[in-house]
Amino acid sequence: MHRLGRLFLPLTLVAGSLVTAMLAAPQAAQTKPFGGLDIQHVSFGEAVSMVQQTAVILSLLFVWLVAAVVVTLISGREIRHSSVEVRSSAVHCFALGLVAITSFVLTAIVVSYFPPVIGVPLLIAMAVFAIVTKIYGMIAVFHALGTLVAGSRTREDLDRRRWLRGDLAMVVVGVLLLGAIRLIPIVGTIVWALASVFGVGTALATKFGRREPWFLAWRPIEG
């Protein structure tokens, strides 16, 4: 019950965002002058554009799936630790991710005013760190989502399973589920953005699953 209470606030936030997006989405039908309904016509160019956008999203989701599988095979224990963190302290991860993204954007704006000799290397280093954090954090979110949906409740249930067991299976389930939501116009973009915030916060909160201090602790020399 305590863990469910921690998840209540972020899940409420996601649900509220979904409702807001659906209310703000354009309606598929328009009212005629005499009160009837007119089905919205889609031109050939618009249909082709929609197909191209869907193809691009599916391609990106396939890249995410490959990256998730590779990272999970290499660092399965770290991904599992980060997944536990996002499920047990979701509010903390979301708040930390929001602060981190805001700080990163503000820092990038300030660094852009530096001389090119200093500013360009710093921006490149920040971009690399941001990309690594985003990828790792999203994979941890995939694992957490897959565990919430398809995870076993007891050890006996896990022993009886032949499929959907292990870190890799949980990550794949999370990618497929979040990827299906990503295909929904407007709603998918909002949900994916929220998942990115959770991911960045989780990666920073767990130090990429290692739970080690970011900096060396200073200790006085004992005489």
* pLDDT value at 7 more than 70: no
Residue 14 reports pLDDT greater than 70: no
Residue 12 has pLDDT above 50, yes or no: no
Predicted pLDDT of residue 31? 38
Mean pLDDT of 94-100: 93
Q: Token digits for 92?
A: 């903390």
Q: Are 22 and 187 a contacting pair, CB within 8 Å?
A: yes
What's the mean pLDDT when you consider all of the chain?
A: 77
What are the structure tokens assigned to 72, written together? 């999970």
Spatial separation of the C-alpha atoms in residues 60 and 211, rounded to whole Å? 30
Give the DSSP letter of residue 153: S
**For residue range 197-223, what is the model confidence (pLDDT) as tens digits?**
999 999 999 888 876 665 555 555 554
Q: Give the C-alpha separation, 167 to 171, whole Å.
A: 6
Judge contact between 28 and 40, C-beta under 8 A.
yes
33 token code pair: 């002058």
Place of tokens 């820092």: 107
Distance CA 141, CA 84 (A): 10
CA angle, residues 17, 68, 75, in degrees to nearest 5: 120
Surface-to-core class of residue 192, CB atoms within 10 Å of its CB (0-12 exposed, 13-18 middle, 19+ buried): middle
Give the pair of three-digit tokens for residue 24: 């703000």
Say if residue 26's pLDDT is above 70: no
Whether the Cβ atoms of residue 192 and residue 178 lie closer than 8 Å to each other = yes
